[in-house]
A and B are shown apart, each in its own frame.
Chain A
Amino acid sequence: MSDHLLIATRKGLFALERKRAGWDSRLIGFEGVAVTNVLRTDGVIYAALKHVHFGAKLHRSDDDGATWRELTAPAFPADAADAPSLFQIWTMETGGRTHLDRLWIGAIPAGLFRSDDRGETWQLVSSLWNVPERKRWFGGGYDAAGIHSISPDPRDEDRVFLAISCGGVWESRDAGDSWSVLGKGLFAPYVPPEQAEDSAIQDPHRVVRCASAPDVMWMQHHAGIYRSTDAGAHWTRLSPPTDDFGFAVAAHPRQAQIAWFVPAIKDEIRMPRDGALCVTRTDDGGQSWEVMRHGLPQRDAYDLIYRHGLEVDEAGERLAMGSTTGALWTSENGGRSWALVNAHLPPIYAVRFVGGLA
């Protein structure tokens, strides 16, 4: 089980370590600055910042947060169509075991950026920016569409899947040189009925893949939850006994039938029903569900778990969940019971289990 967590919040980056008595927490960078996501790979921590005034920035630490060096953040080139300017780095992922120098960044507006030198330089993946469907993309909770989920296929890391709010789900099989839109079966009630199955305007809130069964993916969509068994080409809507709105989803890394979601009342409200927070879990691919509440507040709770706010560790038993109102919980038993770590953190944007920190 992973004993270390990195928490990206509106007021800085926190590192947590599991000790016998609970989790020890310390601020390791960017006090007072929004950290929109964090990635630790190969001994390096990458932190994405959003200065409201000064824009999106990227920093790197080679000593687990003792010191930081600013990297040149990705930027749209001057000749990019429609004159975009980077608003936020939304997600960062590695290129995989066979591409140790490669990193991916998904941004708002929905630019995909690739680095082949561990983050020192970045290029806009123009082939995606220039797909004709981009004219139909639009913002989901932001002024512009954004890429929040990126997943190289562990079997072939040049095959890269990504999800865009609101721009559907896409795949490249050649490390980003060309792209196909996927997502048959997704349904959008927020557009006129004749457009509801248009792949290019779907709003996946978050998509995650089962690491050991990479054709299996789980999606929390703006209007429902879905599962795919063919790497995102087709999706089947699931029917949990709870609300099926939310933002986050976690996939068991080893068991393709297991996933977790965090329901909220749908889109006009976006809060736990009846002030009672729960996490749902399926062990059979979505046919049946456990609704898990033990250790979670069951009255007067207004926590919302945002897209990158739920994570399961590599063993599939420990979970971490952080809310937009600054509460952080962990579970040691696959979500069946939870313990509050801290209710007074800044709003939490992302939680990530990492290997041992210094």
Chain B
Amino acid sequence: MNEIDARLKRALRRCQPPEGFADRVLARVSRESALARTRPLWPLWRSPSLFLRWAAVGALVAALVTGIEYQISESRERAEALAAKQQVMVALRITASKLRVAKQRVKSVEAGTQKLENTL
């Protein structure tokens, strides 16, 4: 160790804190601990900006969930409507073909009657 190092070590010896320092720290610790025990778990009014931030996050999440739910129900309704439309179309096709058959039969009966009348 050189001379300047030794001199600095001597000059920078630790010094004692003011009288009663430890007692003051202990008093602050017990005061803070007592405060912490009585303090509610979520002291919103102590940190309004934090509360607002969480409220904004909550609103955003709620809006997101509502939007997704709306999308899901919309697409479900659209699928149900499509299925109903297809059923109606099938029913109409069946009805149309039945009507065609009935019409052909009526026509053939009419033709038979005409022929009979002519022979008579």
| Interaction A to B | no
Which residues on A are within 8 Å of B, measured CB to CB? none
Which residues on B are within 8 Å of A, measured CB to CB? none
